[in-house]
Structures are given as C-alpha cells and as structure tokens.
Amino acid sequence: MPIAIEMPKLTDTMEEGILVEWSVEEGDKVSAGDVIALVETDKATMDVEAYDDGVLLKKVANTGDALPLGGLIAVLGDAGEDIAELLKEYQSNGVDSSSTPDSSNEAPPAVVQAATHQPAASPQESSSTNGRTKASPLAKRMATDHGLKLVDVMGSGPSGRIIKRDIQAEIDRTHVLKPSLPSPQVPVSAERGYESIRISSMRKTIARRLAESKDTSPHFYLNADVDVGALIAQRQTVNEYLEKSSGFKVSFNDFITKACASGLIMHPDVNVTYASEDGVIHRYNYVDVGIAVAIDDGLVTPVVRDAHLKSVSTIGLEIQALATRARDKQLDLSEMEGSTFTTSNLGMFGIESFTAIINPPNACILAIGSIRDVPVVEDGAVVAGKRMKLTLSCDHRVVDGAVGARFMSTLKELLENPVSLLL
C-alpha cells in the first residue's frame, strides 16, 4: 500500500516547514534513510529522510510551500501503485496536496470548465457551511498573516472552499493602494503600494520566543564603559604572532567571549537558567556561550562549548567556523542549543550601545558596542582614549542587581588587563 511522507517535527519549537529543495525525482527508487528533500525550519535548513523503501510515486508539495506538521510532502510505494485514495484521505482531512487547488496556480479542470461555460454574473457556491467558513489550512494561515476575514473572501475551490489563490487575489486587491491624481506641484509615482513578504519559519519563532522572553522575564540593564586601550595593543601582539604561524587573526569579540567565560566561572550565580516549571534555578559548573549571528532570515546563536577551558585563538577559530556554517544554514541543532550565556555584538555596525533581549532560557545576555575614540582625563591631563560600552541584560527573577554588577566589574577588569585572558 502507498506510504505517506509527512512534514516531520525537526525541532522542538517547529510549527511548520518550508520545502526548499527536492533531492529525488518522481519514479526514483528510495531506500530507508535516504534524504528526499531539504526543509527550512524555524532554526535551520534540515534533511527530510525516508523511513521506508520504495519508489517516489508523487511529489505532493512544491518548492517554496509552507506545510504544517503532518502535512503531506510525498507518497512512496510500489511502481504503478494507485494513490488516489490516500490523496483523497488527506484532502478530506483538510491537508492540501498537489491534487488540490492550493498547490497550483492553475484551477482544477472542473473549475476551469465552470468558469468557461457559465456567465460572468453567475454566483459561486458559498464557502460557508453551518456558520463555518470552509478554507484550506494554507488559506487560513495566509488570511491570518494578512489580517483578512475569511467571510469576506469568495472561494473558488471545491464546494466553494477558500484556497490559496483566493486569498492571494484578495491580498492583491486590498493591499495595493491607488491614490487619486496628484497635484501638479507634487510629483509622485503613478501607483503606490507595498510588498507583503511572507516571513520565514525562523523569523516567526524568533518573534514568538523574544516576545515571550520580554513578557515573562523582568529585564533590567547594567552598563559599563571599558577602557580597551590595552586590549587593542594585546590583540595586535597576538595577531602578529598568529599571522606568522597560521595566518589566522583573533577579533575583539573572541577576547570578550573568553572574558565572559572566565567571569562566569568566578560568578556562577550569573551562569544560570530558571526552570519555572520546576521552581528551581540551574547553576552550571561549565560555560557554553551562545554567539548571536545575523543571517538573511534573522538570528541564530551557535554555541561555543566549554569556553572557559579554551584559549582565545581556539575560541576565535571555532566562532569563525560556526558563523560561516550558520550563514550557509548548515548548523546542526546540537550546535545551537544549550547555551548558558549569550553575547550579541553590533559594534561592527558603528552602534555605540544597545540593550539586547535575553535569549531563553539564559538568565543574561551581553550587548557589545563599538570601540570609540574619546577624550579622557589621566593624571590631570586630557588625552586620547579608547572606550567600549557593554550592557548586560539580566532576568531579575534569578539574577539580582548586585550579582550582575559584580560580574560586570570582573568583566571590565579582565578586558582592561587582557594578558590575564592568555594565561
């Protein structure tokens, strides 16, 4: 009998997946464990594997389709096997497939025939049954995303069911603004409007998790202005040596990561998470630092494990490799989960300071600003100085002000005396 391949739950927070690429073609023989497609989840692009042997009888989902968990991706079975009943079963359960109108921009034959032979004024069958509006899951999701009411949309699917193209037509009709003729003195474009861009699964998860963090974790912020003159000189010395031996250079961020790891070992009450469901605080005897990395779809936080045990150069090599694979969406889930502390650096964009939202389930996140040239007073004289602003966001449920302040004091001391980070 034919075997349905459904959208699997590839991450703990995944709610839907976007089919990025097919790895096999219809008619290909597939063995259990073979990768049949790539799917974009809320965290990364991941492989979808077949769990049985057989022939790929039908690709149900198209490239770019967003499918909910359990949505039908493909059908596997014996060559020539009839799959009509299986497709009908998924369609009757409200799961779109390529045999239903949602997976194509083309109307099904029955609808085309009706549109061809019926007068233009002929009313379509209502999409409402017993007070409930019939719509595909994809159409409902699109309507929600764009603030549309299903009752205002006329369905063109079977029995008046609202499908993808109906919602898209309503979006095109209502979201393009056509102003009246402009005044001759004020030239404007002939047609004004905006583009509705469907957000990725990753962006949806980022929005949900950070909103939850801000709502559930009472944030407070601690600021420090660090003298980085010695750090600049120390980095230059280290890089001169590394360039001769390996051609690799460490960044200021690598030194800061090491300083955070050393400081967290000295202040374990900051290196914690709050297990609210159990009413306990987990205090860790190791430091796994999450490094916020910007990618096209949002933000990921690859983790440097046991950062307190690694040298600055080792941390630098690891961060560079993780960041590259993060931007290529090649990170494994194991490389993005389990951090005990997180850093976010916007200094390379010229941002002097900012406050970051805590990355759950961490209790703190450090925001790193740019290095600034500022006048400072030394021994009664005004001289040129180098400063960097750091901001620690703390979850007040588990980290008190004095605890966070002591950590920041240690972090400042380590960065202003960076040779200690090399010992």
Domain identity same for 254 and 368: yes
- Boundary residue ending a domain (199, 233, 264): 199
Helices 312-327 and 252-266, packing angle to 10 deg: 110
Model confidence pLDDT, tens digit, residues 185-203: 656 666 778 888 877 777 8
Check if the beta carbon of residue 340 is closer than 8 Å to that of residue 271. Answer: yes
CATH (domain of 142): 4.10.320.10
Which range among 74-78, 146-150, 224-228 shows the weakest confidence by mean pLDDT? 146-150
378 shares its domain with 303? yes
Per the structure, the count of domains in the chain is 3
Full residue range of the structural domain in which residue 76 is found: 3-110
Using the structure block, give the residue that is written with the tokens 């595909």.
Answer: 136
Q: What is the pLDDT of residues 343-367, one digit of tens each?
A: 999 999 999 999 999 999 999 999 9
My answer on whether 268 and 328 are in the same domain is yes
Residues 165 and 269 in one domain: no
The answer on 379 and 258 residing in a single domain is: yes
**What are the tens digits of pLDDT across the range 20-33?**
889 999 999 999 88
Q: Same structural domain for residues 160 and 50?
A: no
Q: Which of 77, 110, 143 is the last residue of a domain?
A: 110
- Would you say 10 and 42 are in contact if contact means Cβ atoms under 8 Å apart? no
Asked whether residue 399 falls in the same domain as residue 414, the answer is yes
**Which one, of 42, 88, 51, 91, lies nearest residue 71 by Cα?**
91
Distance in angstroms (rounded) separating the CA atoms of residues 340 and 344: 14
Q: Do 170 and 289 fall into the same domain? A: no
Global confidence as pTM: 0.62
At 128 the pLDDT is 53
The CATH number of the domain holding residue 218 is 3.30.559.10
Euclidean distance between CA atoms 408 and 145, whole angstroms: 42
Q: Is 314 exposed, middle or buried (0-12, 13-18, 19+ CB in 10 A)?
A: middle
Rounded to whole angstroms, the Cα distance separating 167 from 157 reads 12
C-alpha 217/C-alpha 208 separation (Å) is 14
Q: Kindly write down the DSSP assignment for every residue of 137-190, as one continuous string.
A: HHHHHHHHHTT--GGGS---SGGG-B-HHHHHHHHHHHHS--PPPPPTTS---S
CATH number, position 37: 2.40.50.100
Residues 98 and 128 reside in one and the same domain: no
pLDDT tier, 57 (very low <50, low <70, confident <90, very high otherwise): very high
Instruction: Write down the H helix ranges in 272-423.
Output: 312-327, 401-416
Classify each residue of 262-291 as buried b or exposed e, where b means 16 or more C-beta atoms within 10 Å of its C-beta: bbbbebebbbbbbeeeeeeeeeeeebbbbb
Decide the pairing of beta strands 364-378 and 341-345: parallel
Q: What are the tokens at 297?
A: 């779809």
The residues assigned a catalytic role are 396
Residue 245 is predicted with a pLDDT of 87
Residue pointed to by tokens 């002591």: 406
Among 140, 164, 199, the domain-final residue is 199
- Quick check: 78 and 47 in contact, CB under 8 A? no
Residues 268 and 411 occupy one common structural domain: yes
Take residue 34 and report the two structure tokens written for it.
């073979």
Residues 250 and 395 in one domain: yes
Are residues 135 and 55 part of one domain?
A: no
* pLDDT tens digits, 269-285: 999 999 888 889 999 99
